[in-house]
């Protein structure tokens, strides 16, 4: 199972913390976010989408292995998150094949895990303005 840790990124300040004090949020096959407007739900969904896609692409052998910082930040720009970084930002993703740590100002590190069977995920982020789910 994948998981994510986010602090001081855009509207997210203190990040997630469960009843046991764990700062990591588990990412299940279907994950639903409910909360107030502007609380960071879309930000979390977009980050999960970015990190899951990067893990999938890197596992396929795409040119992610030689990813530069500028190219990496383009993924955040595509989702409109490029200005969310601060000096205190902490973004960490732990997937099935890789761990990714993003430090302040978008510097990042990939940590490859021991090879095991990797199931290629289907990635879908549906923004609220699409109203897709209200039709179904």
Would you write out the chain's pLDDT as a tens digit for each of its 136 residues? 899 999 999 999 988 888 888 899 999 888 888 889 989 999 999 999 999 888 888 777 776 656 777 888 888 999 999 899 888 889 999 998 889 998 776 778 888 887 666 566 666 666 666 555 555 5
Q: Which pairing describes strands 98-102 and 90-94: parallel, antiparallel, or unpaired?
A: antiparallel
- Three-point CA angle 92, 131, 27, nearest 5°: 25
The pTM of this model reads 0.80
Please report where in the chains the tokens 């989408």 appear, as a residue: 49
How many Å apart are CA 83 and CA 66, to the nearest integer? 24
């Amino acid at each position: 199972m994948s998981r994510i840790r986010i602090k001081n990124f855009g509207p997210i300040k203190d990040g997630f913390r469960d009843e046991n004090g764990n700062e990591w949020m588990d990412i299940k096959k279907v994950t639903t976010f409910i909360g107030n407007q502007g609380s960071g739900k879309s930000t979390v969904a977009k980050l999960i989408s970015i990190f899951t896609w990067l893990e999938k692409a890197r596992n396929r052998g795409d040119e992610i292995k030689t990813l530069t910082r500028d190219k990496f930040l383009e993924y955040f720009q595509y989702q409109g998150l490029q200005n969310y970084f601060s000096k205190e930002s902490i973004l960490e993703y732990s997937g099935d094949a890789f761990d990714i740590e993003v430090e302040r100002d978008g510097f990042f590190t990939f940590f490859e895990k021991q090879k095991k069977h990797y199931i290629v995920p289907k990635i879908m982020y549906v923004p609220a303005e699409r109203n897709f789910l209200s039709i179904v």
